[in-house]
Amino acid sequence: MVDENLPPAMAKALAALFAGKHEIIHLRQKFGPGVKDTEWIASLNSEGHWIIISADRRIAKNKAEQQAFKGSKLVGFFLAPGLQRAKLTKQMERLMALWETIEKQAELVGGGAMFEIPMKSTKLNQI
């Protein structure tokens, strides 16, 4: 799931690239625009294991959103602040460079885990 703070084009590109291996959709495609974080977190949690790619660091900082996420079956990968401000091409470049690492990390951890996708490093830091 690509969150609302990232463009739908990113989700479409990833979906095309990983067709048959992963179902990748944009948050708006499933919930429409403007859905509250606590609502989509609860809904996706009830469906099972989802991986979230996000530029919304408030989820990791806002108490209600953080509690909802950490208590869920979701695993989140959040763009580092510098990467959030970067052009879409740079964001995609970093996602592609770290995609296998993201896949492996998502398999290793339980729900509620959050990681930062760095601007330059190849290491995912837990949030």
126, 88 contact by CB (below 8 A): no
Q: How confident is the model at residue 101 (pLDDT cuts 50, 70, 90)?
A: very high
What average pLDDT score do residues 99-114 get?
Answer: 92
d(CA 7, CA 28): 10
Q: Describe the strand order of the beta sheet including 125-126 as a list of residue ranges.
A: 51-54, 75-79, 114-117, 125-126
Helix/strand/coil for 49: coil
Q: Using the predicted structure, report yes or no on whether residue 62 has a pLDDT greater than 90.
A: no
What average pLDDT score do residues 20-39 get?
Answer: 93
What average pLDDT score do residues 17-38 get?
Answer: 93
111, 70 contact by CB (below 8 A): no
Are β-strands 51-54 and 75-79 bridged in parallel, bridged antiparallel, or unpaired?
A: parallel
Question: What are the structure tokens assigned to 77, written together?
Answer: 């990968």
Q: What is the pLDDT of residue 103?
A: 94
